[in-house]
């Protein structure tokens, strides 16, 4: 008897969470079916320009982190803010159908060595990446932006 009650609660919970209907019984939002474009390559002149992205990201880092000091408690929050800022600005200048991956590393500057690596499976003719770095007496920041064409 107890198992039936738990099962009923679980079943009602999944029904209530997963679906909503109007008074007529039809779904509230009907998804729009779009035709495939079958584009496997970007249009001429619509490539991810790594040099342009690098200059933009470098200018953002220089202006945002000027005079900043490292704080271990807020380092992860700072990297998330920087990642969101970089993605939103780079989206404005990136061509359509490019997916952006932004990797941000923030650390305390103690003259240590650091290696950052990333591996990707991509088309070398259409995909590219940009790297920008900021460093002052207290912190260092490394930003890597990958632009990957999405078919």
pLDDT in tens, 124-140: 999 999 999 999 999 99
Q: What is the pLDDT of residue 103?
A: 96
The average confidence (pLDDT) of the chain is: 86
Q: What is the pLDDT of residue 32?
A: 82
Please name the residues in contact with 50: beta carbons below 8 A apart, sequence gap of 6 or more: 128, 129, 130, 147
Q: What is the pLDDT of residue 84?
A: 96
Contact 83, 102 (CB under 8 A): yes
Confidence check: pLDDT of 73 > 70: yes
Average pLDDT over residues 25-31: 71
Q: What is the pLDDT of residue 45?
A: 87
Ordered by start, the domain boundaries in the chain are 50-149
Q: What is the pLDDT of residue 35?
A: 82
Confidence check: pLDDT of 91 > 50: yes
- Angle of helix 75-93 relative to helix 50-64, nearest 10 degrees, comes to 140
Q: Which is nearest to 82 in space by CA: 135, 149, 138, 144? A: 144
CATH 3.30.379.10 corresponds to the domain 50-149: no
Contact 107, 114 (CB under 8 A): yes
Q: Within a 10 A sphere around the Cβ of 82, how many other Cβ atoms?
A: 22
Contact 128, 111 (CB under 8 A): no
Which residues partner with 139 through β-bridges?
Answer: 108
| 122 backbone dihedrals φ, ψ, rounded to 5° | -150, 175
- Rounded to two decimals, the pTM is 0.75
């Amino acid at each position: 008897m107890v198992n039936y009650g738990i099962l009923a609660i679980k079943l009602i919970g999944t029904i209530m969470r997963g679906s909503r209907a109007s008074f007529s019984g039809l779904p509230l939002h009907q998804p729009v079916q779009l035709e495939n474009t079958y584009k496997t390559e970007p249009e001429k002149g619509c490539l991810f320009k790594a040099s342009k992205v690098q200059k933009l990201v470098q200018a953002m880092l220089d202006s945002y982190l000027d005079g900043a000091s490292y704080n271990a408690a807020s380092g992860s929050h700072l990297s998330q803010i920087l990642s969101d800022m970089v993605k939103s600005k780079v989206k404005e200048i990136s061509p359509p159908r490019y997916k952006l991956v932004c990797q941000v590393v923030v650390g305390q500057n103690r003259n240590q060595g650091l290696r950052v690596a990333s591996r990707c499976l991509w088309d070398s003719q259409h995909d590219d990446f940009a790297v920008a770095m900021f460093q002052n007496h207290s912190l260092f920041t490394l930003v890597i932006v990958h632009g990957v064409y999405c078919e």
